[in-house]
Amino acid sequence: MHTFQTVYQDSHWITPLPQHADINLVLAFGSPELMLDNKLNDELSSAFPNAQIVGCSTSGEIQDDCLYDNSICVTAIDFEHTQVHVVSHSINQFAHCAELAKQLVSQLPLEGLKHVLVISDGHLVNGSELVDGLQQYLPQGVMATGGLAGDGERFSQTTVWHNKRIESGLIVLVGLYGERLSVGCGSLGGWRPFGPKRLITKSTNNVLYELDGRPALDLYKEFLGEFASDLPASALLYPLALQQHGEQEHVVRTILSIDELQKSMLFAGNMPEGATCQLMHSNYEDLLDGAQLAADQAGACFKGTPPELAILISCVGRRLVLGQHVEEELEIIKEGLPAKCAISGFYSYGEISPIQSIGRCGLHNQTMAVTLLSEK
């Protein structure tokens, strides 16, 4: 595996694009405005004529151990022993995310499939339904990792990129094939639950209406106090720990938008009735520990073959809490990787990674999700 990386910022490429016909996959993560610049699309297509170009808008771009804004961070990959097959569809053409997941998987060759990288719209897509659908239709033992596109702190519109398609509502699956590909993945948050556990008494999919029989938005605003006027952005500082009946491990859920009339909250993933939820908080030391442990989980999968590419997808809520310390979580991960390992990624509205305790993929919020790739 060989990689080339560059960043487009301040109207120029920091390292000029080469002409490279051997590149078969390009990851491009960028600001919402630059993602819609057709000129940049044409430049990447010209530089890498045989590559599948995949990317999305973000809440911050990751390249090496640096965080960028108002840029496009590009990682071009030449897999020597791994085949790449990419499919995409828009949620606007399907009634449910599960149907879309089935259609996407049906278009992927399944023989020899080793891993799936998922890049999804982060505003129009129910991430839980998407991940559950992928889990249902992918072959046993094939894991999916990835994330939901971001839009800074605006929560207005996200964009996904697949070759000439750059649009909202798009979901892209990158299938990676071959026995010589090694994959490691891990995710962890570092958030701590506090306060009373509350029962979800009324919800529809990822829309939460009532907790303990009271309007959910009213309860949440009571807690936030003076910060309630900054919703939904202020909710990133206090996500919810969601625990379903019979499961020992919780997942973290973050608010995407609120409905003042319905007194409801829209989440990135489902909030099923009968589950319990609890407020969470964190500090930068806990979040840095979470990033370190996520990288350790991913690295534990490698036996004798050092990782050559790290894809880091971290939640925008972590960025807000970390503030000026945000690059420290990237630096901590880099310190544990080989010097030649390329690092790419973005800050997201949701992370897709296995739930370690039950061995299946799940949608996470407020985590650092690490995917490591290498070829033997």
pLDDT given for residue 327 in this prediction = 96
pTM of the model: 0.90
Instruction: Answer with the residue of higher pLDDT: 198 or 305.
Output: 198
226 and 343 inside one domain: no
295 and 149 inside one domain: yes
83 and 204 inside one domain: no
275 and 299 inside one domain: no
For 118, the domain range is 2-188+285-375
Residue 116 has pLDDT above 80, yes or no: yes
Residues 6+ apart with CB under 8 A from 78: 1, 2, 3, 20, 22, 23, 24
Count of C-beta atoms within a 10 Å radius of residue 19? 9
240 and 325 inside one domain: no
What's the number of domains the chain is made of? 2
Nearest CA to 101 out of 146, 59, 56, 57 is that of: 146
* 216, two tokens: 């959910």
75 and 23 inside one domain: yes
Pairing of strands 309-315, 342-348: parallel
Domain end call among 258, 280, 302? 280
Q: What is residue 186's DSSP assignment? A: E
Domain end call among 280, 304, 326? 280
47 and 171 inside one domain: yes
**166: alpha, beta or left, given left = phi > 0 and alpha = psi -120 to 50?**
beta
98 and 205 inside one domain: no
Nearest CA to 181 out of 155, 135, 216, 142 is that of: 142
94 and 175 inside one domain: yes
118 and 16 inside one domain: yes
37-88: pLDDT as tens digits: 989 999 999 999 999 999 999 999 999 999 999 999 999 999 999 999 999 9
Average pLDDT, the chain: 92
Mean pLDDT to the nearest integer, 189-207: 92
pLDDT given for residue 139 in this prediction = 93
Q: Tell how far CA 267 is from the center of its chain.
A: 15
240-297: pLDDT as tens digits: 999 987 777 788 888 888 999 999 999 878 899 999 999 998 888 999 999 999 999 9
* 123, two tokens: 């505003």
Helix (H, G, I), strand (E, B) or coil at 32: helix
40 and 183 inside one domain: yes
Which residue in this structure is represented by tokens 């007194």? 263
Residue 359 has pLDDT above 70, yes or no: no
Domain end call among 219, 250, 280? 280
Alpha helices in the chain (DSSP H): 32-35, 38-47, 97-106, 127-137, 216-224, 284-299, 316-322, 326-335
136 and 197 inside one domain: no
